[in-house]
């Protein structure tokens, strides 16, 4: 059994960069939806400069295979910079900000 199945990854938020012209957001979304466990995704452009488009990608599902997801995104021509949020378990859990 893979670690992903043990964790049951339900939601990921990733910081992903792509070249300005290719891959398009649609091409990245198509790559994401080929991955096991993916049920839905959201791609939000967070930054644009002369050469790259920065995005925040949220993926939800049941038993998402993280390694396959990263491979698919990178095969589309984008680069996963980091993982910003990870939700695992039997249900989705929303982040509750700490109050000080």
Homologous superfamily of 3-88: MTH889-like domain (3.30.70.1340)
- Domain limits of the chain? 3-88
pLDDT tens readout for residues 8-41: 999 999 999 999 888 999 999 999 999 999 999 9
- Which residues on adjacent β-strands are paired with residue 44? 56
Host H or E run for residue 80: strand 79-88
Q: What is residue 1's predicted lDDT score, i.e. its pLDDT?
A: 39
pLDDT tens readout for residues 59-98: 999 999 999 999 999 999 999 999 999 999 987 777 777 7
Q: What is residue 5's predicted lDDT score, i.e. its pLDDT?
A: 54
Q: What is the spatial distance between Cα 44 and Cα 100, in angstroms, rounded to a whole number?
A: 29
């Amino acid at each position: 059994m893979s670690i992903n199945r043990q964790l049951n990854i339900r939601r990921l938020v990733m910081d992903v960069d792509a070249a300005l012209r290719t891959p398009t957001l649609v091409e990245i979304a198509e790559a994401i939806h080929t991955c096991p466990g993916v049920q839905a995704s959201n791609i939000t452009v967070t930054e644009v400069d002369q050469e790259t488009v920065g995005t925040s990608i949220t993926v939800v599902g049941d038993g998402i295979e993280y390694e396959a997801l990263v491979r698919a995104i990178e095969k589309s021509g984008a680069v996963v910079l980091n993982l910003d949020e990870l939700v695992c378990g039997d249900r989705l859990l929303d982040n509750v900000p700490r109050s000080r």
